[in-house]
Amino acid sequence: MRQTTGYMQDYWATRGLDIAVPSFGQLCDRFAALEVHVTQRCEQLARRLSRGEAVSLIVDSTGLSFARAGQWYEEKYGKKADRTPWRKMHLSIDADMNIHAIRITTAEVSDSEGMDAILPADLPVDRVIADGSYYSIERGEALSRAGITPVTPPPAHAVVHGAGQTGWHDELVKYIKDKGIYAFHKKYGYGLRSRVEAQISRIKRCLVATLLTQKIASQECEGVIIANIINLWNSFGRPVCVKNG
């Protein structure tokens, strides 16, 4: 945005025109106030949803740096910055790598809290797949009662409670103890979780590993724009994930 402001100021000046250009601060404020939403562009997904089919959501999060302190910090304080500030990116995708929801939060927001913000309420969902850091008996039971299969491995020390409000948890723990964790992976399609990791790698390698804005409101808009770029790419052709080794 600083480059855009400077370019337009020079552009009008070289043509002898006295046209006001919004300042960097104005652009930042307007960007933070943008109303942007995640847009789906996959025709196959649109056809599935029009037929009333449900989709499986895969959830994960990752850290993104922003406003990295560099030479200016060293010159001002006479020392290198102790740490780089971080944000967390929470996202949910389907098995075809389309992003359905994304949130940028502070690093203090846990994975479990972030998950609540990226489960779209208006989307028919049959499964929610996530790693063990998202496991919660309460959430698992709530999803199960809503007709959604929560595919999240319980902790290794999990036990059967035998209570009325822990039906799904008890079923899962019993199944893993009887059949093993890999049988759980195969039965419920837990292997699909690798696709959200591939999507995160795609974002960091092809788009950005460091957020360009500094305000949390602007970073939330930036996250939605990242999701829309990925979904636009998927309309051209999506990556094919294959087992290696």
Residue 73 has pLDDT above 90, yes or no: no
Asked if residues 99 and 41 have their Cβ atoms less than 8 Å apart, the reply is no
φ, ψ of residue 104 in degrees (nearest 5): -105, 125
Q: Do both 13 and 54 map to the same domain?
A: no
Rounded mean pLDDT, 110-120? 90
Give me 47's structure tokens. 């056809």
Quote the number of domains for the chain: 2
Quick one: pLDDT at residue 78? 73
Q: Do both 41 and 17 map to the same domain?
A: no
Asked if residues 18 and 211 have their Cβ atoms less than 8 Å apart, the reply is no
Asked if residues 228 and 203 have their Cβ atoms less than 8 Å apart, the reply is no
Answer yes or no: is 245 within a domain.
no
Residue 160 three-state SS: coil
Q: Do both 113 and 9 map to the same domain?
A: no
Q: Do both 121 and 10 map to the same domain?
A: no
Answer yes or no: is 244 within a domain.
no
Q: Do both 6 and 79 map to the same domain?
A: no
Q: What is the H or E stretch that residue 101 is in?
A: strand 99-106
Residue 245 has pLDDT above 90, yes or no: no
Residue 80 has pLDDT above 80, yes or no: no
Q: Do both 72 and 15 map to the same domain?
A: no
Per-residue pLDDT reduced to its tens digit, 35-60: 999 999 988 899 999 999 999 999 99
Q: Do both 7 and 88 map to the same domain?
A: no
Model pTM?
A: 0.84
Residue 13 three-state SS: helix
Rounded mean pLDDT, 199-213? 90
Instruction: Tell which phi-psi region holds residue 241, choosing left (phi > 0), alpha (psi between -120 and 50) or beta.
Output: beta
Residues 6+ apart with CB under 8 A from 28: 1, 213, 215, 218
Q: Do both 11 and 72 map to the same domain?
A: no
Q: What is the band of 85 on the pLDDT scale with cuts at 50, 70, 90?
A: confident
- Give the integer Cα–Cα distance in Å for 20 and 23: 9
- Give the integer Cα–Cα distance in Å for 198 and 172: 27
Q: Do both 55 and 173 map to the same domain?
A: yes
Q: Do both 8 and 61 map to the same domain?
A: no
Residues 6+ apart with CB under 8 A from 135: 152, 153, 154, 155
- Give the integer Cα–Cα distance in Å for 196 and 185: 16
Q: How far is CA 189 from the centre of its chain?
A: 20
Give me 176's structure tokens. 């893993």
Greatest alpha-carbon span in the chain: 80
Q: Do both 55 and 68 map to the same domain?
A: yes
DSSP, res 103: E
Q: Do both 121 and 85 map to the same domain?
A: yes
Higher pLDDT, 80 or 152: 152
Answer yes or no: is 241 within a domain.
no
Give me 198's structure tokens. 């591939």
The boundaries of the domain holding residue 29 are: 1-33
